[in-house]
Structure 1
Amino acid sequence: MLVITTPTGDIGSQVLTRVLETAPSEEVRVVVRDPARLPAPVRDRVEVVAGSHGDADVVDRAFDGADAVFWLVPPDSQAPSLDVAYSGFTRAAAKAFTVHGVSHVVGVSALGRGTPVADRAGLVTASLAMDDLIAATGVAYRALANPTFMDNLLRQIASIRDDGVFTDTQAPDRRAPSAATRDIAAVAVDLLLDRSWTGAGSVAVLGPEDLSQEDMARIMTEVLGRPVRYRREPLENLAARLTGFGAGEAFARGMVDMMRAKDEGLDDGVARTPDTASPTTFRQWCEDVLRPAVLA
């Protein structure tokens, strides 16, 4: 039995789709707050546990008889602290892993472990602490150590389409890795269906190349056939914008600290090798995902 959390989210939905396509005989159970958000054909093929996977009663039911779990903590912009948002949310599940003898867990986490800024990287620091909590249960655990998602740009579709502008806080010429969520999902599914691995560790998903924001603007311009430029946002503006949208102080500060750490080398600690380089280039992602979204 394989349990998938966040099955209607960006990565979770892709994990679920891939499992159903590549391993149709696999027993699959999903944990979802609103089962109605699952497409009808999917609901007919999986067992559904309704509720939050941060709830002890829900994970107790969901993990009963489970061999493997895909674990992803949803963002909580209102959490009183980042510890509550990550480790606090995960604590009931960690107990349930042990109680129900879950053998393998694959979690979505972040790059940064072992870098000089890992202990002051906001959301990433909290995510790495969550990984330690899960690993301490003794379950075989793989944390997917991810850089920035290419798919985050979909939040700026209107600005890219209407103004030819995308915004971030990074230095315009600093090259860094980024990964497509479809590649992250693919790595997760490979691990979830294998289950021959043991112990605890991380698996980096780095994309095939490092690009700067200027590189990304050039590629978007070429793929979209219209000018796109990068605008750097000061960190203090990011904090004000997040709190203006209703985010709590802990979340806003965690985002600022994470973005500052990225500019200071947070994502530079893992070398790109054939094992860590995921296949989707930024250009291919723009052609397959960004361009259709802009033109829609």
Structure 2
Amino acid sequence: MIVITAPTGNIGRHLLPLLLESAPAAGEELRVIVRDPARLPDAARGRVEVVTGSHAEADVLDRAFEGADAVFWLVPPDASLAPQDAYTGFTRPAAEALTAHGVGHVVGVSALGRGTPLADRAGLVTASLAMDDLIAGTGVAYRALANPSFFENLLEECDSIREKGVFTDSVDPDRKAPFVAVADIAAVAAGLLLDRSWTGTGSVPVLGPQDLSPNDLARIMTEQLGRPVRYERQPLDELFATLVGYGLHEAFAQGVVDMKRAKDEGLDAGVARTPDTASPTGFEQWCARTLKPAVLS
């Protein structure tokens, strides 16, 4: 039995179809935890066991983890909390349920940066790494998917790209770093969940096919969208004020700022890209398939 948290989220909506396709042949049953079962895809209906509720709640986790062999764990960041509460606080009931039910394997969504000098001052990334430690401390076999920034973050900029030809971030315009498509993260997660021959604790970097700078992203978007797109760098103090103005908890907003600062200082640059850490979806491909329809709609 494989349990999938956040099956309708950015990664889960790619992961669930992969498991629906492959799990039956592997003799695996699937169970999902979801607040609103109506949001599940039609293909899942009658083919997955549904536990309704939030995976922050101990009673929901107790039902979901009973008889489970493996869990896909993803924390939906709660911007109304401080980062440690949003990650380790959210995950603590899961750690207790993993132990109580003897779950053997967990695949979690995490971040790059472990082992770097920046890891303890990287805001949301630091909190995510602490979450990894909490899960690993239960004794389960654990793999943390160590991800850089997602291509999909740019979907939040669609209106600005459409109306102004501008996207923003807080890093140096020439700072090259890895980026990844969420579909590639889902593919790696599916492989780990279905082949559980691995043991112990470790990280699995998912780095995309190449490093890109904001200026590179702007150039490729210009080519793919057929209209000029440029990058504007937002000062960190302005970013903090904007996030607080949107209603984010000040500590969470500071966590975002600290993460952005650490990325600008090279947080994501410490892992070499190899055939094992690269993932296939390039930015050009993602722009054509995902960003262009969203911007031009």
Unpaired runs of 5+ in structure 1? Answer: none
The aligned amino acid for 2:79 is S
CA drift at 1:35 = 1.5
CA drift at 1:39 = 2.7
Partner in structure 1 of residue 54 of structure 2:
52
Listed one character per residue, the Cα deviations across residues 129-183 of structure 1 (whole Å, up to 9, x for unaligned) are 0000100111000000000001110111111111111111110011010000000
CA drift at 1:40 = 3.5
CA distance in 1, matches of 2:39, 2:245: 29
Partner in structure 1 of residue 76 of structure 2:
74
The aligned amino acid for 2:68 is A
Listed one character per residue, the Cα deviations across residues 92-136 of structure 1 (whole Å, up to 9, x for unaligned) are 111111111111100000000011111000000000000001001
CA distance in 2, matches of 1:83, 1:167: 26
Partner in structure 2 of residue 7 of structure 1:
7
CA distance in 2, matches of 1:40, 1:281: 29
**SS of residue matched to 1:119:** helix
CA contact under 8 A between 1:110 and 1:145: conserved in structure 2?
Answer: yes
CA contact under 8 A between 1:112 and 1:267: conserved in structure 2?
Answer: yes
Aligned residues with identical type, % of pairs:
72
TM-score when normalising by structure 1: 0.98
Partner in structure 2 of residue 140 of structure 1:
141
CA contact under 8 A between 2:83 and 2:127: conserved in structure 1?
Answer: yes
Partner in structure 1 of residue 269 of structure 2:
268
Partner in structure 2 of residue 284 of structure 1:
285
What pairs up with 1:1-296 in 2 under 5 angstroms? 1-25=1-25, 26-79=28-81, 81-296=82-297
Listed one character per residue, the Cα deviations across residues 228-263 of structure 1 (whole Å, up to 9, x for unaligned) are 000111111111111111111111000000000001
CA contact under 8 A between 2:23 and 2:29: conserved in structure 1?
Answer: no
Q: Following TM superposition, where does structure 1 have runs of at least 4 consecutive aligned residues deviating by more than 6 angstroms?
A: none
CA distance in 1, matches of 2:156, 2:48: 30
CA distance in 2, matches of 1:270, 1:200: 17
The aligned amino acid for 2:166 is V
CA drift at 1:44 = 2.1
**SS of residue matched to 1:10:** coil
CA distance in 1, matches of 2:231, 2:295: 17
CA distance in 2, matches of 1:82, 1:216: 29
CA distance in 2, matches of 1:252, 1:190: 34
CA contact under 8 A between 1:149 and 1:180: conserved in structure 2?
Answer: yes
The aligned amino acid for 1:174 is R
Listed one character per residue, the Cα deviations across residues 183-234 of structure 1 (whole Å, up to 9, x for unaligned) are 0000000000001100000000011111110011000000111100001111
CA drift at 1:43 = 2.8
CA distance in 2, matches of 1:118, 1:41: 40
CA drift at 1:42 = 1.6
Answer with 18-27 or 110-119: which moved more. 18-27
TM-score when normalising by structure 2: 0.97
CA drift at 1:287 = 1.1
CA drift at 1:37 = 1.6
CA distance in 2, matches of 1:57, 1:167: 41
CA contact under 8 A between 1:115 and 1:265: conserved in structure 2?
Answer: no
Answer with 1-10 or 29-38: which moved more. 29-38
CA distance in 1, matches of 2:249, 2:9: 22
**SS of residue matched to 2:67:** coil
CA drift at 1:288 = 1.2
CA distance in 1, matches of 2:65, 2:193: 15
CA contact under 8 A between 2:34 and 2:54: conserved in structure 1?
Answer: yes
CA drift at 1:33 = 1.3
CA distance in 2, matches of 1:89, 1:43: 28
